[in-house]
Amino acid sequence: MYPKILLVLAGAVFLAYGVVCWVNPELPAEYAGLFIATHNGYAEIAAMYGGLQSSFGALLIVSALLKGYLRPGLWLILICIGTLAAARASVALSGLDSSFQVANSSLGIDVSSSFTSYTWGALAFEVFLAVWAGLALLKKS
């Protein structure tokens, strides 16, 4: 039952966000800190954030409902969202500024980032989904 819940919840999130982004491409652009300079840019954001995400969400929901598609749906999450998280993490984590200071026998560690909560929230969501899908696949084998 848990794999179906994962597929339906993840599918609903991607489908809803995709539809909103399709209708209003400026929304994801603003969240991600992007500037849409041309009509081509609007089409690209609507297609990638709107069309692709809504179709991915619909596919996950269908995978939860149709017999025999549960494992393929979980594999889609693990591979697609896992690589999405890996790509986002490779940039976000390399952009961390850290410094270590030792003064008066105490170690001070300062970590800062120029990334916003949008990036960290998306990364956390993607890692959570990929790990959940991986665990569900391990349990199913």
Residues 22-34 have pLDDT tens digits of 999 999 899 888 8
The structure's pTM equals 0.83
**pLDDT exceeds cutoff 70 at 1:** no
C-alpha span between 33 and 6 (Å, rounded): 29
Per the structure, how many domains does the chain have?
1
Looking up tokens 């970590």, which residue turns up?
A: 111
**pLDDT exceeds cutoff 80 at 72:** yes
Q: What is the per-residue burial (b if ≥16 Cβ within 10 Å, else e) of 36-67?
A: beeeeeeeebbeebbeebbebbbbbbebbeee
User: What is the domain range of residue 100?
Assistant: 2-140
pLDDT of residue 114: 79
C-alpha span between 136 and 11 (Å, rounded): 16
Predicted confidence band of residue 117 (pLDDT cuts 50, 70, 90)? confident
Looking up tokens 């790509």, which residue turns up?
A: 87
C-alpha span between 8 and 4 (Å, rounded): 6
> Which ranges of 24-116 does DSSP label H, i.e. alpha helix?
26-32, 39-45, 53-65, 70-76, 82-92
Predicted confidence band of residue 94 (pLDDT cuts 50, 70, 90)? confident
**pLDDT exceeds cutoff 80 at 111:** no
